[in-house]
């Protein structure tokens, strides 16, 4: 069974984010399972514990045009299938598994089914060939099927603005059971108990500690020293491997000479020339007459100067004592 939490018609963006934080939505399913191409379980934990703002909800062009094109994809689906779709403008919640919520795109009129609308780059066309659906979207759709009690969910995708694909996805109870188990563990253990998931190599710890607030250095212990030793050893190996790789590249460049490359092996092509503007010199030329050739006044420089927060570069300073 499912219940309606709230209408989304008049929700502000901040209110929508607050409602989204009440559980795991369809777009969270892949991240909770560790198979999202954009978000790790650690990223999702940061968001659900309000330590970070959801990256996928940021004001970027991908999200912007995906939202604009959603009605276009839905209309094209209607045109091609003869089915009618309807917006629900609400957030729903599973009564059996209340940690699972759903902000669905459309429902199919006259069927116990829904529609998920997608847009993607032409570079991702291969992932949609034949019966294929990207894993993260498959989990999203099965999440919605579970929350809404649907028999199936159609997925329609506009690829590169030129190719349209649509596929029915049947309810998969085995996959749903596994999904519910994983989401339940993530919500109850990681979110409610506030225990971070295991860190992965692609996690960005800067999201948790964006700024340095303490100038003290921690005392070194055996664990920290051992990790530093391993880092230095791996860095040395990579340096040697890179040197070997660079040498082989030079060997091939000597063979290629002034040609474009070796067919089926490598290319060494010249990029097109590009123009670069020396903005500082341009500004000086524009203002030099007004200031008798002197340097630009501080007031003008300050007007076009912005302060960027300093980065936190990580450096291994450990040195083996001989």
Confidence of residue 179 (pLDDT cuts 50, 70, 90): very high
Residues 172 and 69 in one domain: yes
Q: Kindly report, residue by residue over 131-147, the tens digit of the pLDDT.
A: 999 999 999 999 999 99
Assess whether pLDDT exceeds 80 at residue 100. yes
Q: State the pLDDT at residue 295.
A: 59
Lowest mean pLDDT among 119-128, 211-220, 279-288, 292-301: 292-301
Q: State the pLDDT at residue 57.
A: 45
Q: Kindly report, residue by residue over 208-239, the tens digit of the pLDDT.
A: 888 889 999 999 999 999 999 999 999 999 99
Q: What is the CATH number of the domain that holds 96?
A: 3.90.320.10
Residues 256 and 178 in one domain: no
Confidence of residue 300 (pLDDT cuts 50, 70, 90): low
Q: What is the pTM of this model?
A: 0.76
Assess whether pLDDT exceeds 50 at residue 153. yes
Q: State the pLDDT at residue 152.
A: 96
In total, how many domains does the chain have?
2
Q: State the pLDDT at residue 111.
A: 96
Residues 246 and 199 in one domain: no
Q: Has residue 215 been placed in a domain?
A: no
Q: Looking at the DSSP assignment, which residues form a beta bridge with residue 107? A: 86, 114
Q: Which of 207, 232, 251 is the last residue of a domain?
A: 207
Between these two residues, 316 and 273, which has the higher pLDDT value?
273
Assess whether pLDDT exceeds 90 at residue 159. yes
Between these two residues, 315 and 40, which has the higher pLDDT value?
40
What percentage of the chain reaches a pLDDT higher than 90? 66
Q: Has residue 234 been placed in a domain?
A: yes
Q: State the pLDDT at residue 222.
A: 94
Residues 189 and 259 in one domain: no
Q: State the pLDDT at residue 317.
A: 80
Residues 6+ apart with CB under 8 A from 159: 119, 120, 121, 122, 124, 125, 128, 165
- Kindly report the backbone phi and psi dihedral angles of residue 91, in degrees, each rounded to the nearest multiple of 5, phi listed first: -105, 130
Residues 164 and 299 in one domain: no
Residues 241 and 203 in one domain: no
Lowest mean pLDDT among 32-46, 106-120, 296-310: 296-310
| CB neighbourhood size of 159 (10 A) | 18
Assess whether pLDDT exceeds 90 at residue 306. no
Range of the domain at 260: 222-270+277-303
Between these two residues, 185 and 277, which has the higher pLDDT value?
185
Q: State the pLDDT at residue 199.
A: 92
Q: Kindly report, residue by residue over 15-71, the tens digit of the pLDDT.
A: 887 888 899 999 999 999 999 998 999 999 999 999 887 755 444 677 777 788 999
Q: Has residue 116 been placed in a domain?
A: yes
Q: State the pLDDT at residue 292.
A: 56
Residues 234 and 174 in one domain: no
Q: State the pLDDT at residue 321.
A: 54
Query: Helices 173-185 and 135-148: crossing angle, nearest 10°?
Result: 90
- Kindly report the backbone phi and psi dihedral angles of residue 194, in degrees, each rounded to the nearest multiple of 5, phi listed first: 55, 50
| Helical H segments across the chain, by residue range | 13-20, 26-33, 41-48, 61-81, 135-148, 173-185, 222-256, 279-287, 298-303
Q: How far apart are alpha carbons 246 and 191 in whole angstroms?
A: 46
Q: State the pLDDT at residue 322.
A: 39
Asked whether the CA dihedral 125, 127, 133, 137 is positive or negative, the reply is negative
211-215, 250-254, 279-283, range with greatest mean pLDDT:
250-254
Residues 14 and 158 in one domain: yes
Residue with tokens 């903005």: 279
Q: Has residue 75 been placed in a domain?
A: yes
Question: Average of pLDDT values for 97-119?
Answer: 95
Between these two residues, 50 and 315, which has the higher pLDDT value?
50
Confidence of residue 148 (pLDDT cuts 50, 70, 90): very high
């Amino acid at each position: 069974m499912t219940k309606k939490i709230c209408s989304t018609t008049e929700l502000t963006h901040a209110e929508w984010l607050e409602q989204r934080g009440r559980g795991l939505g369809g777009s969270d399913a892949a991240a909770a399972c560790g198979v999202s191409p954009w978000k790790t379980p650690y990223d999702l934990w940061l968001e659900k514990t309000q330590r970070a703002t959801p990256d996928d909800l940021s004001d970027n062009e991908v999200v912007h045009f995906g939202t604009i094109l959603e009605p276009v994809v839905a209309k094209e689906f209607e045109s091609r299938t003869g089915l009618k779709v309807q917006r629900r403008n609400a957030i729903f919640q599973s009564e059996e598994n209340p940690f699972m919520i759903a902000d669905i795109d459309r429902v199919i009129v006259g069927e116990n089914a829904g529609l998920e609308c997608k847009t993607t780059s032409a570079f991702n066309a291969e992932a949609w060939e034949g019966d294929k659906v990207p894993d993260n979207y498959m989990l999203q759709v099965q999440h919605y099927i579970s929350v809404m009690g649907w028999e199936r969910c159609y997925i329609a995708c506009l690829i590169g603005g030129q190719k349209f694909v649509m596929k029915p996805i049947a309810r998969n109870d085995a996959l749903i059971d596994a999904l519910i188990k994983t989401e339940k563990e993530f919500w109850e253990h990681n979110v409610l108990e506030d225990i971070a998931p295991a860190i992965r190599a692609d996690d960005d710890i800067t999201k948790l500690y964006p700024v340095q607030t303490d100038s003290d250095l921690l005392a070194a212990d055996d664990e920290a020293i051992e990790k530093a030793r391993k880092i230095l050893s791996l860095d040395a190996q990579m340096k040697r491997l890179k040197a070997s790789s660079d040498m082989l590249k030079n060997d091939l460049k000597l063979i290629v000479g002034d040609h474009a490359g070796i067919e089926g092996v490598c290319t060494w092509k010249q990029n097109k020339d590009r123009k670069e503007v020396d903005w500082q010199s341009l500004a000086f030329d524009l203002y030099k007459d007004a200031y008798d050739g002197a340097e630009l006044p501080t007031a003008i420089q300050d007007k076009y100067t912005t302060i960027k927060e300093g980065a936190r570069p990580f450096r291994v300073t450990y040195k083996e004592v001989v």
